[in-house]
Amino acid sequence: MRAEILFPHKSVASLASVRNGKWRELVKRVASLPEDDVESLAFSMLMIKQCGCLDCNPDRYKALMGCSACAKRTLSAYKGTDESLLRAFQKARAEVEEYLKTRSQR
């Protein structure tokens, strides 16, 4: 298996079956978008935070599992509700939009 440095867009679709309802709808929508879309970037940011990608390295078990397996495991163990995940996604989206807005003003 090959782990990425940060959560890759190609792993999004594999997360549709992990949770139900609105989470599944979000995953399917984001998976259909290009990887540079604001929602795709926000979803990756969400998963990077949830999975702890910034602390991952090639020698860790998580990296050996691969990003999709790590993300599935993380979401399966998540004790919060789908609504809290969706709120975290909206927060990540606002952060990405703000960053892109400040970058375009330079």
- Of all residues in the chain, the percent with pLDDT exceeding 90 is 68
Gap between the Cα atoms of 97 and 78, Å rounded: 26
pTM: 0.88
Helix or strand holding residue 73 (H, E): helix 67-77
29 close to 39: Cβ distance less than 8 angstroms: yes
Angle at 78 between CA 72 and CA 81, to 5 degrees: 115
- With tokens 């997360």, the residue in question is 15
- The model's confidence at residue 78, banded by pLDDT at 50, 70 and 90, is very high
Give the pLDDT confidence score for residue 1 in this predicted structure.
Answer: 47
Long-range residue pairs from 57-61, CB within 8 A, at least 24 positions apart, any chain: 58/3
The domain segmentation of the chain, as residue ranges, is 9-104
